[in-house]
Amino acid sequence: MNILAIGCHPDDLEIACFGTLGLYKKQGHNVFTCHVANGNLGHKEIKPDELRTLRRKETLAAAELIGAESFTIDVGDCTVESDDQDVVKKLIEVIRYANPDLIITHDPADYMRDHIETSRLTFTASFSATVTNIITRSPEIEKIVPIFYMDTLAGIGFMPTEYVDITETIELKLKALSCHKSQIEWMREHDKIDFPDFVRTCSKFRGLQSSVPYAEAFRQAQVWPRITTKRLLP
């Protein structure tokens, strides 16, 4: 299968679904990641242009760890708009290129506007990717694919319908997260948050719910024609 995960900022996918993506890759599937925003405002001391470049390098390093092909739409932080047709078309091209069997993205009720807009953008672009008369470099895909929404930060307000046992990939997930040094070091120094431990704890909590050591949680978009009888998650 082809798996496409669309996150908002660099490190969002590592936090919420990289254990699952690592499992897909171990099982021989093709994994693609895409970030809509470039993370340029995610620091108080590093200037936006410098941070944009740095965070792209961190993202590529994390993707390489699991063998994923990585894309960015390169929108500035706090400016993601799901009705920006130029951005929609760029994401359509990524979706068509990946030709996914399923897409993973943010929950529509996530904790910040950029995430919510990314969820809406993904929903729109994945439908539009099937429309022949929308012209991009890659041809249209044949079907509107299932979408799985990934967990919110700390799992607040998120009721899973699916769990994935990531016990064998939890260390890979945390290693990939640790590629994002600009964020982890800043949060540890200035916010007094050990973010790798935070993410491990959340994964352990979802594991507790599903009777395994570590898990990631998802829920499927329940709209026609995205519902399927097949088990698509690992």
The pLDDT of 70-77, averaged and rounded, is: 98
pTM of the predicted model, to two decimals? Answer: 0.97
Asked whether the beta carbons of 78 and 41 are under 8 A apart, the reply is yes
pLDDT, position 43 = 87
CATH number for 2-220: choose from 3.30.950.10, 3.40.50.970, 3.40.50.10320, 1.10.760.10: 3.40.50.10320
**CA–CA separation, 12 and 198 (whole Å):** 13
Q: What is the pLDDT of residues 139-183, one digit of tens each?
A: 999 999 999 999 999 999 999 999 999 999 999 999 999 999 999
| Torsion angle of C-alpha atoms 88, 136, 144, 18, degrees rounded to 10 | -70
